[in-house]
Chain A
Amino acid sequence: MTYIGSSVKRVEDKRFITGQGRYTDDIVLPQMTYACMVRSPHAHAEIVNVDISHASQMDGVVKIFTGKDTDAAGIGGVPCGWQVDFKNGDTMKEPPHPLLVSDKARHAGDAIAMVIAETYAQAKDAAEMVIVEYNVLPAVTNSKIARADGAPQVHADVPNNLAFDWELGNPREEVDAAIAGAHHVTTLEFINQRVICNAIEPRSAIGHFDTAYDKYTLYTSTQNPHLIRLLMCAFVLGIPEHKVRVVGPDVGGGFGSKIFHYTEEALVIWGSNQIKRPIKWTAERSESFVTDAAGRDHITTAKMAFDKDGNILALSSDTFANMGAYLSTFAPAVPTYLHGTLLQGLYTTPLINVSVDAVFTNTTAVDAYRGAGRPEATYLLERLMDTAALEMGRDPAELRLQNFIAPFDGVEQEGYQTQVALQYDSGNYAPVLKRGLEMVGYEQFRADQKAAESTGKLLGIGFSTYVEACGIAPSAVVGALGARAGLFESAQVQVHPTGKVSVYSGSHSHGQGHETSFAQVVADKMGIPMEDVEIIHGDSDAVAFGMGTYGSRSLAVGGSAIVKSIEKVLEKGAKIAAHLLEASVDDLDYAEGKWTVRGTEKSVAFGDVSLTAYVPHNYPEGLEPGLDFSSFYDPANFTYPFGCHICIVEIDKESGVVKVKRFIAVDDVGNVINPMIVDGQIHGGLAQGIGQAFCEGAVYDESGQLVNGTYMDYVMPRADDLPSFEIDRTVTPCPHNPLGVKGAGEAGCIGATPAVVNAVMDALKGYGIHDVEMPVTSQKVWNIIHGG
Chain B
Amino acid sequence: MVPSKFAYHKPSTIKEAIELLTTHGDDSKILSGGHSLVPVLKLRLNDPEHIIDVSGIESMGGIRDNEKSITIGANSTHGEIAKNAALKEHAPMIALAASMIGDIQVRNFGTIGGSIAHADPAADWPAVLLAADANIVLTHAGGQREVDIDQFFKGLFMTAMGEEEIITAIRIPKTPFNKNSTYVKFPQPASRFALVGCAAAIANSDGYITEARVAFSGVSATPFRDSNVEKSLKGSVLNEDAIATATASVADDVSIMSDHFAAKKYRKHMAGVYARKALSALA
Interface residues of B in 177-231 (CB under 8 A from A): 186, 189-191, 193
Given A716-B190, A782-B269: 15 more A-B contacts, CB < 8 Å: A121-B2, A124-B2, A125-B5, A286-B43, A655-B270, A707-B260, A708-B190, A711-B190, A712-B39, A713-B190, A713-B191, A777-B189, A779-B261, A779-B262, A783-B266
Chain B residues whose CB sits within 8 angstroms of the CB of A711 once the complex forms: 190-191
Chain B residues whose CB sits within 8 angstroms of the CB of A716 once the complex forms: 190
A714 on the B face (CB < 8 A): yes
For the complex formed, measure the closest distance between the CB of A55 and the CB atoms of chain B, giving whole angstroms. 14
Smallest CB gap from A779: residue in B: B266
Chain A residues whose CB sits within 8 angstroms of the CB of B186 once the complex forms: 655
Smallest CB gap from B260: residue in A: A699
B282 on the A face (CB < 8 A): no
**Which of B2, B4, B262, B270 lies in contact with A120, CB distance below 8 A?**
B2
Given contacts A708-B190, A712-B190, A714-B190, contact A285 B1 (CB under 8 A): yes
Contact with B along A692-711 (1 / 0, CB 8 A): 00010001000000011011
**Which of A128, A715, A782 lies in contact with B189, CB distance below 8 A?**
A715
Q: Is the CB of A286 within 8 A of B270?
A: no
The 3 closest A-B pairs by CB, nearest first: A715-B190, A712-B191, A715-B189
Q: Which of B4, B44, B189, B265 has the most CB of A within 10 A?
A: B189
Q: Which of B4, B5, B263, B266 has the most CB of A within 10 A?
A: B266
For the complex formed, measure the closest distance between the CB of A356 and the CB atoms of chain B, giving whole angstroms. 28
For the complex formed, measure the closest distance between the CB of A555 and the CB atoms of chain B, giving whole angstroms. 35
Smallest CB gap from A721: residue in B: B189
B41 on the A face (CB < 8 A): no
A601 on the B face (CB < 8 A): no
A214 on the B face (CB < 8 A): no
Question: Which range holds the interface residue count of chain A?
Answer: 20 to 34
Q: Is the CB of B190 within 8 A of A655?
A: no
Given contacts A655-B273, A782-B269, contact A708 B191 (CB under 8 A): no
Chain A residues whose CB sits within 8 angstroms of the CB of B44 once the complex forms: 128
Smallest CB gap from A59: residue in B: B5
Smallest CB gap from B3: residue in A: A121
A571 on the B face (CB < 8 A): no
Smallest CB gap from A701: residue in B: B260
For the complex formed, measure the closest distance between the CB of A473 and the CB atoms of chain B, giving whole angstroms. 39
Q: Which residues of A contact B (CB under 8 A)?
A: 120-121, 124-125, 128, 284-286, 654-656, 695, 699, 707-708, 710-716, 721, 777, 779, 782-783, 786, 788
Contact with A along B252-279 (1 / 0, CB 8 A): 0000000011110110011001000000
Chain B residues whose CB sits within 8 angstroms of the CB of A779 once the complex forms: 261-263, 266
Chain A residues whose CB sits within 8 angstroms of the CB of B1 once the complex forms: 284-286
Chain A residues whose CB sits within 8 angstroms of the CB of B2 once the complex forms: 120-121, 124, 284
Q: Which residues of B contact A (CB under 8 A)?
A: 1-2, 4-5, 39, 43-44, 186, 189-191, 193, 260-263, 265-266, 269-270, 273
For the complex formed, measure the closest distance between the CB of A649 and the CB atoms of chain B, giving whole angstroms. 16
Chain A residues whose CB sits within 8 angstroms of the CB of B261 once the complex forms: 777, 779
Smallest CB gap from B191: residue in A: A712
- Expressed in whole angstroms, the Cα–Cα distance for A779 and B265 within the complex equals 10
Given contacts A120-B2, A125-B4, A782-B266, contact A654 B191 (CB under 8 A): no
For the complex formed, measure the closest distance between the CB of B100 and the CB atoms of chain A, giving whole angstroms. 12
Smallest CB gap from B263: residue in A: A779
**Which of A120, A121, A715 lies in contact with B5, CB distance below 8 A?**
A121
- Expressed in whole angstroms, the Cα–Cα distance for A116 and B270 within the complex equals 50
29 CB contacts below 8 A, A to B, read A120-B2, A121-B2, A125-B4, A125-B5, A128-B44, A284-B1, A284-B2, A285-B1, A286-B1, A654-B273, A655-B186, A655-B270, A695-B190, A707-B260, A710-B43, A711-B190, A712-B190, A713-B190, A714-B190, A715-B189, A716-B190, A721-B189, A777-B189, A779-B263, A779-B266, A783-B266, A786-B269, A788-B265, A788-B266
- Expressed in whole angstroms, the Cα–Cα distance for A453 and B176 within the complex equals 40
Chain A residues whose CB sits within 8 angstroms of the CB of B260 once the complex forms: 699, 707-708
- Expressed in whole angstroms, the Cα–Cα distance for A158 and B205 within the complex equals 76
For the complex formed, measure the closest distance between the CB of A528 and the CB atoms of chain B, giving whole angstroms. 44
For the complex formed, measure the closest distance between the CB of B123 and the CB atoms of chain A, giving whole angstroms. 12
For the complex formed, measure the closest distance between the CB of B152 and the CB atoms of chain A, giving whole angstroms. 24
- Expressed in whole angstroms, the Cα–Cα distance for A76 and B190 within the complex equals 40
- Expressed in whole angstroms, the Cα–Cα distance for A196 and B260 within the complex equals 17
- Expressed in whole angstroms, the Cα–Cα distance for A715 and B260 within the complex equals 12
Q: Is the CB of A695 within 8 A of B270?
A: no
- Expressed in whole angstroms, the Cα–Cα distance for A447 and B176 within the complex equals 47
For the complex formed, measure the closest distance between the CB of B180 and the CB atoms of chain A, giving whole angstroms. 25
Chain B residues whose CB sits within 8 angstroms of the CB of A695 once the complex forms: 189-190
- Expressed in whole angstroms, the Cα–Cα distance for A5 and B193 within the complex equals 45
For the complex formed, measure the closest distance between the CB of A700 and the CB atoms of chain B, giving whole angstroms. 11
For the complex formed, measure the closest distance between the CB of B266 and the CB atoms of chain A, giving whole angstroms. 5
- Expressed in whole angstroms, the Cα–Cα distance for A470 and B189 within the complex equals 33
Smallest CB gap from B190: residue in A: A715
Smallest CB gap from B44: residue in A: A128
For the complex formed, measure the closest distance between the CB of B122 and the CB atoms of chain A, giving whole angstroms. 10
Chain A residues whose CB sits within 8 angstroms of the CB of B189 once the complex forms: 695, 715, 721, 777
For the complex formed, measure the closest distance between the CB of A651 and the CB atoms of chain B, giving whole angstroms. 14
Chain B residues whose CB sits within 8 angstroms of the CB of A777 once the complex forms: 189, 261
Smallest CB gap from B274: residue in A: A655
Chain A residues whose CB sits within 8 angstroms of the CB of B4 once the complex forms: 125
For the complex formed, measure the closest distance between the CB of B40 and the CB atoms of chain A, giving whole angstroms. 11
Smallest CB gap from B103: residue in A: A718
- Expressed in whole angstroms, the Cα–Cα distance for A285 and B43 within the complex equals 10
For the complex formed, measure the closest distance between the CB of A353 and the CB atoms of chain B, giving whole angstroms. 36
Chain B residues whose CB sits within 8 angstroms of the CB of A786 once the complex forms: 269
Chain A residues whose CB sits within 8 angstroms of the CB of B269 once the complex forms: 782, 786
- Expressed in whole angstroms, the Cα–Cα distance for A707 and B258 within the complex equals 14
For the complex formed, measure the closest distance between the CB of A130 and the CB atoms of chain B, giving whole angstroms. 15
Q: Which of B186, B260, B263 has the most CB of A within 10 A?
A: B260
- Expressed in whole angstroms, the Cα–Cα distance for A352 and B262 within the complex equals 40
Smallest CB gap from A699: residue in B: B260
Smallest CB gap from B196: residue in A: A655
- Expressed in whole angstroms, the Cα–Cα distance for A531 and B217 within the complex equals 57
Chain A residues whose CB sits within 8 angstroms of the CB of B190 once the complex forms: 695, 708, 711-716
Smallest CB gap from A284: residue in B: B1
- Expressed in whole angstroms, the Cα–Cα distance for A655 and B276 within the complex equals 12
Chain A residues whose CB sits within 8 angstroms of the CB of B273 once the complex forms: 654-655
Chain A residues whose CB sits within 8 angstroms of the CB of B5 once the complex forms: 121, 125
- Expressed in whole angstroms, the Cα–Cα distance for A716 and B260 within the complex equals 15
- Expressed in whole angstroms, the Cα–Cα distance for A712 and B106 within the complex equals 14
Chain B residues whose CB sits within 8 angstroms of the CB of A125 once the complex forms: 4-5
- Expressed in whole angstroms, the Cα–Cα distance for A717 and B261 within the complex equals 15
Chain B residues whose CB sits within 8 angstroms of the CB of A655 once the complex forms: 186, 270, 273
